Structure 1
């Protein structure tokens, strides 16, 4: 395992500093400095997007170097639902869910995104971690609350990290999306800005922040960069359609 990305990899793999000393390792990735060709250029980590399996394998091997050798990354078959897996042991087959939790130090939890919001959770001692695929549908179906329920620690002892996603000036949605969140709470109306055509710009970071705060989680950090507008740095499904996937990964370091 490398303590930090080397010069060739620093733009591909971005270390996440969490307030748990060295108890937890976490990274998020960009699209840069990988092995995949156009339109997956170049650090694509998703097998499901029709990229070369060989290239994705090389990219995943590169990512794995930043975690202990015995620590496998548990990937998910993400379906934009609200199910959460309590991962007890590694499965080479992706588990069907949109969030995962573990207190096992031999597991890393991975989330793939290309506009949706990656969310990582960790308790103060670094003994419990979770990774959440925060698309608007999972968020509207309370996937954050479903994940927090698995923590033995209390919400005030949990820190949340919010990663790059489609930003509040680029994520246009219809009235029905706004209404789904307003059914949860009128507070979510502040996360939507109406446009002249009657549609709305939605702020995923703000939606997640409000949900976390409602659960009692107020330690929130993140990287609020827009995947849609940062074309050189990030994949964006809404911008490009056929494209790759970034990853956000967290593991307990013992």
Structure 2
């Protein structure tokens, strides 16, 4: 594996047969005035990058990680649909989370500021991954994923991957109001900056949801994809940008 291309997932005490990783952008970071940021290990085929280069990057991903199969890429729509995957699952299904209990099935999401959420159980028989931007979080993508798993919430382990940090993610009052209506304790995830704007902690929103669901073992977080130009793509930083891939599978 080329270490500088990949970020290990931060778990508390994962089963030995669970594998999980997030890819990193590689190379010189694009400047703040650049029109795009594609050239650095983009894994997404929907962002107007060179298709041949994306294919090469995906082939490198397969080889570097010695993946047991091609990742099952989703058509992500910032929604709350969760699908179960097996070895013959159709590719590019419209969903924002996937679950598998089959060995060798690689669940995957693509992100560039949104939060990748990794799930597994303590005995290493079930894994899942979710793409959780603020829209997906509000729509219940984490709740739907936990409820769709065969594992009881108290036996689920979660790791929060790289997302935009709380000092960089400014949202309008509409977003704040929507989350407060959903659950008043979400106020802990917002800091008001003026009459109409708030800084939003996407990690705290995820933690609030997970704790409400009864998930106890939660690790990860603490990244900021917006400010860390060296390691991460950021849609808020460059609208025309690549995507990191977050993967999880059972060996």
Indicate the SS of the match to 1:214: helix
Q: TM-score, normalised by structure 2?
A: 0.92
How far 1:218 moved relative to its partner?
1.6
Residue in structure 2 matched with residue 73 of structure 1 by the alignment: 71
Structure with the bigger RCO (C-alpha within 8 Å, sep 6+) is 2
1:156-235 equivalences in 2 (<5 Å) = 156-196=154-194, 198-235=196-233
2:239 corresponds to: 241
Matches of 1:71 and 1:159, distance apart in 2:
24
1:30 aligns with 2:24: yes
Q: CA deviation at 1:189?
A: 0.6
CA–CA separation in structure 1 for the residues paired with 2:64 and 2:124:
18
Residue aligned with 2:19, SS: strand
Number of aligned residue pairs: 243
Q: Distance in 2 between matches of 1:154 and 1:66?
A: 34
Q: Which residue matches 1:54?
A: 52
Where 1:240 maps in the other structure, the secondary structure is coil
User: Which 5+ residue runs of structure 1 have no aligned equivalent?
Assistant: none
Question: Structure 2 CA distance, aligned partners of 1:21 and 1:33?
Answer: 33
Deviation at 1:69, TM superposition (A): 4.8
Task: Compute the displacement of 1:198 (Å).
Answer: 2.6
Q: CA deviation at 1:39?
A: 2.5
Q: Provide structure 2 residue ranges, at least 5 long, that are not aligned to the other structure.
A: 29-35
Provide runs of 4+ in structure 1 moved above 6 Å: none
Match of 2:3 in 1: 10
SS for the counterpart of 1:96 is coil
Tell me if structure 1 keeps the 8 A contact 2:9–2:161.
no
CA distance, structure 2, for counterparts of residue 228 and residue 77 of structure 1? 23
Q: CA RMSD in A?
A: 1.7
CA distance, structure 1, for counterparts of residue 229 and residue 90 of structure 2: 31
1:125 corresponds to which of 123, 128, 135: 123
| 1:65–1:33 Cα change, 3 Å | farther
Residue by residue over 1:157-194, the C-alpha shift from the partner in whole angstroms, topping out at 9 and shown as x without a partner, is: 11111011111001010111111111221000110000
Quick check: 167-176 or 9-18, which moved more? 9-18
Contact 1:13-1:63 at 8 Å conserved across structures: no
